[in-house]
Amino acid sequence: MKFSSFWLLLASVVFQSACAQTPATGAARDHDRFVDVKQFVPSVQVDIRYYTTNNFVGTRIDGYKAPKCLLTKEAAIALRNAQEELARNRRSLKIFDCYRPQRAVDHFVRWAKDLGDQKMKAEYYPFTDKANLFRDGYIAAKSGHSRGSTVDLAIIELDDGQELDMGTKFDFFDPLSHTASSRVSESQRENRLVLKSVMERNGFKNLKEEWWHYTLRNEPFPDTYFDFKVK
């Protein structure tokens, strides 16, 4: 009887150990489906703002250990197709953010709750009360970027390296950033439409509140929010 109880206990421990390892193994497999976009699409331009202080927080964001754009392979393939289409007109995509660790989103949330920190207000949210950033949807506890198939980007002219004028900068917290805003000029609206058209033709959908924000329509991890570091 004692012998039998010992083997039952041992079997239980082995089973629990195997179960505990399964999610980690699965997570590793999922992580392997991400690629470094600059290596995958060498011609694309990359300006990862959250690795720098040139962003609405004013400091490097948690989880960004390298200025890299990481995306799921599916999103990277679609992005490559968009880049190839633009290249035929001597243009290129310029990427500001790709995969975003959950710890980075948590950093944004902490910053938004600190109403005393207003050092980047004049540049990124001059007409928006910081106390309303959650209410107005500019900051949230979860981001589609953490699922690995969302990208923030603009278009540049290859001949001079200049960005097309979109009417606002990236991450400008204001209704003026809405893709279809009627407050921007005709040429700025046309530039937004050029970006929207090429991205939609290649499998992405736009977030209407942000002209720069695109998510792969058939993203492979629609319910998974990753937290591995960008490095």
Residue at 62: amino acid letter: D
Q: Where are the beta strands (DSSP E) in 28-158?
A: 34-36, 45-46, 70-72, 91-97, 150-157
CB 191 within 8 A of CB 164: yes
**Separation in Å, CA 179 to CA 111, 197, 210:** 26, 12, 6
The catalytic residue among 85, 200, 210, 219 is 210
Output the CA torsion sign for 24, 28, 30, 31. positive
**Is 210 designated active site?**
yes
Residue at 154: amino acid letter: A
Pairing of strands 70-72, 34-36: antiparallel
Look at residues 172, 150, 56 and name the one whose alpha carbon lies nearest to residue 98.
150
Distance CA 87, CA 81 (A): 10
State which H helix or E strand residue 74 sits in: helix 73-87
Distance CA 89, CA 69 (A): 24
Annotated catalytic residues are 210
